[in-house]
Amino acid sequence: MKSHPVYLSDLHTEHQAWLSALSFYTEDLDVLEEQLSEAGIKNNSPEARSAVEKFQGQFADIRKELSGLQEQVTKHEDSMVQFAQEHPVAIEHVHFADHDDLRGQVAAFESEIKAFRHEFQLFIAQYL
């Protein structure tokens, strides 16, 4: 898919929104992991232990993906800041390539974390 040109300020605004959302997901994962710990303490059945271990692995995977996305967004933002500092007049007139790939990755992550959260809430409802 060919990306369309956009202004630097539009990309910056989107980056800030993404970083804010990713920060929220980091905090949300902290809360969910506390619930997982609580569920593991209250339920020591083999089924509960197995589910807790599965979720612990999923939390680790999601945190790794989240960290990678935060790094990619931050790198893209930093490169735009550098361009803006080197070409202060041009930023109001120059179009930049859109970041469709990064947008797709963020959207896929948000969809993934919502599905994970739903599955996790079903587990918590059963074991907490």
Report the alpha-carbon distance of residue 28 to residue 19 in Å, rounded. Answer: 14
pLDDT at 84 exceeding the cut of 90 = no
Provide φ and ψ at 25, rounded to 5°: -65, -35
Q: Report the alpha-carbon distance of residue 102 to residue 65 in Å, rounded.
A: 13
Stated length of the chain: 128
Q: pTM here?
A: 0.86
Q: What is the pLDDT of residues 90-112, one digit of tens each?
A: 777 777 777 889 999 999 999 99
DSSP H stretches of helix in 3-99: 8-42, 46-86
Using one digit for the tens of pLDDT, what is the confidence trace for 51-67? 999 999 999 999 999 99
Q: Which of 110, 113, 96 is nearest to 6 (CA)?
A: 96
Number of domains in the chain: 1
Structural domain that includes position 93? 5-127
Cα(67)–Cα(19) distance, integer angstroms: 11
